[in-house]
Amino acid sequence: MVAEGANLLITHVGLTTADKIGAKTTMMLDYEAKRIQAMHDTAKRVRKDVLILCHGGPIAEPEDAVQVLARTSGIIGFINSSNERPPTERAVVQHFQEFKIRIGTDAGGGALKRSPALSHPRKHAGK
């Protein structure tokens, strides 16, 4: 890719791990940092001006990125699905945990009366 003119190379070290829907297996951070460095070194031998980022695998949290960048040389940063998926997943889970309602009872334990609009949403739509 670099030989063909790519200005930016993203070293991909596997599916991002983290939270409930992340990859279940990955290599260790030290091993992946060595792989990232090897990809960097190979690309730089082809062209010195290529920019290189890291992505994926065990780089799931900001601390992981800091560790990878500390263990490598010449990597200018990271781009990751962990920037949107894990924070979104955590926010959704937290929201639903905070929004738990015991359907059918009010706070005092008595039965709740259902609104006709809730019972028949199509019948009352638009009113």
The predicted-structure confidence for 71-89, as pLDDT tens digits, reads as follows 999 999 988 765 666 677 7
Residue 77 lies in a domain: yes
pLDDT category, 22, cuts 50, 70, 90? very low
- 50-67 pLDDT per residue, tens: 999 998 888 878 888 899
- 37-54 pLDDT per residue, tens: 999 999 999 999 999 999
Q: What is the CATH number of the domain that holds 39?
A: 3.20.20.70
Which residues does 18 contact at the CB level (< 8 Å), separation at least 6? 60, 61, 82, 85, 86
Rounded to whole angstroms, the Cα distance separating 92 from 36 reads 32
Amino acid at residue number 34? K
Residue 90 lies in a domain: yes
Residue 107 lies in a domain: no
Structure tokens at 65: 């990125």
Total domains, the chain: 1
Residue 71 lies in a domain: yes
Q: Which domain holds residue 54?
A: 8-98
Residue 125 lies in a domain: no
Residue 119 lies in a domain: no
Residue 104 lies in a domain: no
